Amino acid sequence: MKKTFLLTDTKKDPQRVLDSIKHNIRKYIKREKRKDLPEGSNFWKINCKFGKTEESAVEVRFEDIMKNISEASEQNLDSFYIELIAEAGTMNFKKKEKVEEDIDMPEDIMEEDEIAIEDDN
């Protein structure tokens, strides 16, 4: 999605326009994430750019999109440009090895645990 959104509308409340824009962006993201992943990929990465105009758009984190839109509204901008490009990504998961070690606990901690156990019963 590469689009310039207008934040002003003479017939609508500015808050409703803002809510509508956020809804459209969330709907687009959900649609992109529902698509089938290519073989060898296990998640969709969303590359984002945000700015007043297409030329001034800078790369932003995916998590900060809604915050940037709210800030643009608070600054009373007439419009803003947003670019959302879905890209297949691969995340490598590491298996945790179970480590069994004998841990020597100080006796004063052990005594407190025993007291707590006795109080609960």
**Per-residue pLDDT at 108 exceeds 80:** no
pLDDT attached to residue 1: 93
In a domain, 24, yes or no: yes
In a domain, 66, yes or no: yes
In a domain, 103, yes or no: no
In a domain, 98, yes or no: no
In a domain, 108, yes or no: no
Residue 43's identity, in one-letter code, is F
**Per-residue pLDDT at 94 exceeds 80:** no
In a domain, 65, yes or no: yes
Structural domain range at position 31: 2-89
- Looking at the structure of the chain, the number of domains it has is 1
Element (H or E) spanning 18, and its range?
A: helix 14-34
**Per-residue pLDDT at 92 exceeds 60:** yes
Name residue 46's beta-bridge partners: 86
Mean pLDDT score, 10-30? 95
Say what percent of the chain tops pLDDT 70. Answer: 80
On average, the pLDDT of the chain sits at 86
In a domain, 101, yes or no: no
pLDDT in tens, 36-73: 999 989 999 999 999 999 999 999 999 999 999 999 99
Q: Using CA atoms, how far apart are residues 80 and 48, in angstroms rounded to an integer?
A: 13
